[in-house]
Amino acid sequence: MSQSLFAAVEMAPRDPILGLNEQFNADPNPAKVNLGVGVYYDENGKLPLLKCVATAEKQLVEAAKPRGYLPIDGIAVYDKAVQGLVFGAAHEAVTSGRIATVQGLGGTGGLKIGADFLKRLNPAAKVLISDPSWENHRALFTNAGFAVEAYPYYDAAARGIDFVAMLAALQAAPAGTIVVLHACCHNPTGYDLSPVQWLQVIEVLKSRQLVPFLDMAYQGFGQGIAEDGAVIERFLEAGIDFFVSTSFSKSFSLYGERVGALSVVCESKDEAARVLSQLKIVIRTNYSNPPTFGAQVVATVLTTPALRALWEEELAGMRVRIKAMRELLVTKLKAAGVKEDLSFITRQQGMFSYSGLNAAQMQRLRGEFGIYGVDSGRICVAALNEHNIGAVAKAMAAVV
Ligand SMILES: Cc1ncc(COP(=O)(O)O)c(C=O)c1O
C-alpha cells in the first residue's frame, strides 16, 4: 500500500489562547472563570449586543439591502467611514485621497493584508514587534515570510515600559524595518506610551526611515475614541508613510462578523491609487472579496449621527465598567491580604492586566481554582464582574 499523503504531518502546537479556551470548556468546575480570551463581557458575563448594532442590523434587514455587491470594486461606504473614524473625515490626508483603505477580516485580516503587501514591496525587510506583544503578531508576520525580532517594551521591575531600551532598539534598526506598534491599550501589558514618548518614537521612525505599522485593536477602550486616536494624528503631522490596521471586534462587540480594515497613508493620491490596486490583488488572490454584512452594520453606525452618538455612549459604558473592575480588583486583593503595591492595575489601559503572576502561579489558578488566565500572567479584566471578582481575588491572593 502506498504511504498516506499526510503520514508525515505533525500535530501543530495549540494556539495558547484558543487552547486555553478548549481546556476551560472541558473543565467541569461550576465556579470556573475564563479570563484568558480577550473578549469584552458585560456585567453578567455575557457578550453584549450593542444597541447601535442591533438598530443598524434591523435597518439593513428591513431595507432588504442587496448582498450581491462586491466591496473590492471601488471605495465602498465602509472604507470611507473607517477613514473618517481613524483619520478624521476632514483631514487633508483623507480629503486629498492620500490614504488607501480596504476592509479586512477583523484586525487580523488588516494586519495580514498589510504584511503580504509589504513582503512584495520589500522582501528583505525585518519586522520588529514589542517584547512582549499580542502572540499572533510574531506568527502572522513570520507566516508572511518575514524575519521577526522584538524591541524591548515591558519592564517587569518598574511595572511599566523600558522606554530608553525601546528607543535605542529603534535607533539601531536598519532603514526599511517594519515596526509594529500598539496604537493604544497595549496587549498584553496594558502599558501605553505617553504623548511625549510617542513624539520621540515618531521622530526616530522618521529619521531612521522605518516603516510604522500601527495596530489599533482597542480604539475607545483607553481614554476615549478621540483620545486613543490622537496618536494617528501625530503620525499624520509627522508627514511619514505608515500603516494602520483597525479592528471592530471589541469596539462593536462583533467578533463573529470579522470586521476590520487596513489603511495605508501615502504621499500622494496617485501613490494611494497604486497601493490600493496592489492591496486588492492581495485580497483577490486570498478570498476574492470580504463579506459585507458586518461592514455595512459598522458603516451604518459610523455614518448615522444618532447611531454614532449611541455607539460612543455604549463604548464609554464598556470603558467605565472595565475601569471600575480594575479598582474593585485592587480593593478585593487588598482585602484578601495582598500587601504589595497594586496601583499598577489601575494605571494599565484597556481590557488586560499583566498581573505579574508567573506561569506556575497561573497554572495553580487554573488547576486549583478553575480561574483561567494566560501563562504569561495576562488576565482579561473585561471578563470580571460583580459575581466572579471576589472568587478571582481570593484565588489570586492564595497563589501569590
Ligand atoms: C493587539 C491586537 N491586534 C489585533 C487583534 C485582532 O483583532 P480581530 O479579532 O479583529 O482580528 C487583537 C485581538 O485580540 C489584538 O489584541
Q: Please give the pLDDT value at position 177.
A: 98
Torsion of the alpha carbons at 375, 38, 224 and 52, rounded to the nearest 10: -170
Q: Which three cell numbers stand for residue 154?
A: 515591558
Would you say 103 and 261 are in contact if contact means Cβ atoms under 8 Å apart? yes
What's the whole-number mean pLDDT along residues 308-313? Answer: 98
- 304/266 Cα distance (integer angstroms): 28
Element (H, E) at 63: none
Ligand 1 midpoint to CA 110 (Å): 10
Ligand 1 pocket member 187 (CB < 6 A)? yes
- ipTM score assigned to the predicted complex: 0.99
Ligand 1 midpoint to CA 352 (Å): 13
Q: Which three cell numbers stand for residue 265?
A: 497613508
- DSSP string covering 160-192: EE-HHHHHHHHHHSPTT-EEEEESSS-TTT---
Beta bridge partners of 181: 214
Give 25-51 pLDDT, tens digit per residue.
999 999 999 999 889 999 999 999 999
Q: Please give the pLDDT value at position 240.
A: 96
Q: Who wins on pLDDT, 12 or 128?
A: 128
Ligand 1 atom nearest to 258, measured from its CA: 10
Residues labelled catalytic: 134, 215, 250
Q: At what angle do helices 51-62 and 293-303 cross, to 10 degrees?
A: 110
What's the whole-number mean pLDDT along residues 325-350? Answer: 96
Ligand 1 pocket member 247 (CB < 6 A)? yes
Angle, CA of 16, 39 and 328, to the nearest 5°: 110
Element (H, E) at 126: strand 126-131
Tell me how far CA of residue 387 lies from CA of 43, 101, 319, 321, 354, in angstroms.
8, 42, 19, 14, 22
Residue among 187, 214, 262, 374 to mutate when testing ligand 1 (max atoms within 8 A of CB): 187
Residue among 18, 47, 108, 133 to mutate when testing ligand 1 (max atoms within 8 A of CB): 108
* CA-based torsion, 30, 35, 40, 42: positive or negative: positive
Domains identified in the chain and CATH numbers: 16-49+319-399 (3.90.1150.10), 69-303 (3.40.640.10)
Is the backbone peptide bond immediately before 132 cis, with ω within 30 degrees of 0?
yes
* CA-based torsion, 220, 225, 230, 236: positive or negative: positive
Determine how many CB atoms are found less than 10 A away from the CB of residue 343. Answer: 9
**pLDDT of 1 above 70:** no
Give 96-112 pLDDT, tens digit per residue.
999 999 999 999 999 99
